Amino acid sequence: MLAGGLGTRAKPFTEYFPKAMFPLDGRPIIDYIVRYLARFSQINEIIIVCGFDSFGKQIMNYFEGKMSIVGKSITFVEDKNNGTGGSLLRVEKYIGQDECFLVWFADNLCALNIEHMIQKYHQANAKVGGITGMIVVRRRRREETARVIVHESEIKGFIEKHTVNLEQPEALGIYLFSKRIFQYLQKRLKEGLDSFNLSYHILNEITSIDKLFSYDIGESIEWIDAESPAYTDRNKDIIERILQEMRSVIGDVN
């Protein structure tokens, strides 16, 4: 889980706590995600990349003593502010012999079907003889604002917020990578980049020289980037649906 970053879009809230600790129904966002992921047998361990400053310590302190409740071991890796690509590179030594690993930005909420995604990953991997990864996407999005019907500058009516089909699928900040991803991360490091972005500097390049596949969450699964408390408050209905879906897997939250 990538839980570092400066959270500039969420200021002034992130002047007091990291985005991963935004409260939802009395619990931080990252709590729901960690407990959800831990319920899948394919997940062996939770690795959280965060700053080891006062903000990152909030995350570390929160999970202190909770590993027995979560049911999986939790390892913390220091985020050195090297961008999302640099942050991911710091977990390389912890992957071990695992064939693939899940990457999840800690401000993204989604009751993703992990088992189905892993199944699709293996199918794609076998089909083409090896892939670098699979990216979770969606093809629809709910509009944040209402639309207006205009005739010669005069407003004739309003269309309430609705779901629109996207011309191009939207990447959702959840990935399933093979260890091949580290080759590309190491390459950028050797080129002398102190900080590099996972999407722009790495994944964008891979599409022309290697294989990336998409995993569409479909029509029934909700997703949201909980970018700030104000944003989550405006989208309470979506948040509640996602939390209900997560709770159906987590069970009673202690």
Q: How far apart are CA 220 and CA 228, in angstroms?
A: 24
Does residue 12 register a pLDDT over 70?
no
Does residue 71 register a pLDDT over 60?
yes
Retrieve residue 212's tokens.
Answer: 């990336």
Q: What is the mean pLDDT of the chain?
A: 88
Tally of CB atoms within 10 A around 153: 5
Q: Which residues contact 149 (CB under 8 A, 6 or more apart)?
A: 155, 156, 157, 158, 159
What letters, b where the CB count within 10 A reaches 16 and e where it falls short, cover 91-125? beeebeeeebbbbbbbbbbbbbbbeebbebbeebb
**pLDDT per position as a tens digit, 202-253:** 998 898 899 999 999 998 899 999 888 888 888 899 999 999 999 998 876 5
Q: All domains of the chain, ordered by start, with CATH? A: 8-250 (3.90.550.10)
CB of 171 closer than 8 Å to CB of 90: no
Q: Of 7, 34, 53, 57, whose CA–CA distance to 229 is shortest?
A: 7
Radius of gyration of the chain (CA): 19
Tokens 């889980």 sit at which residue? 1
**pLDDT per position as a tens digit, 20-36:** 898 888 899 999 999 99
Confidence of residue 104 (pLDDT cuts 50, 70, 90): very high
The model carries a pTM of: 0.88
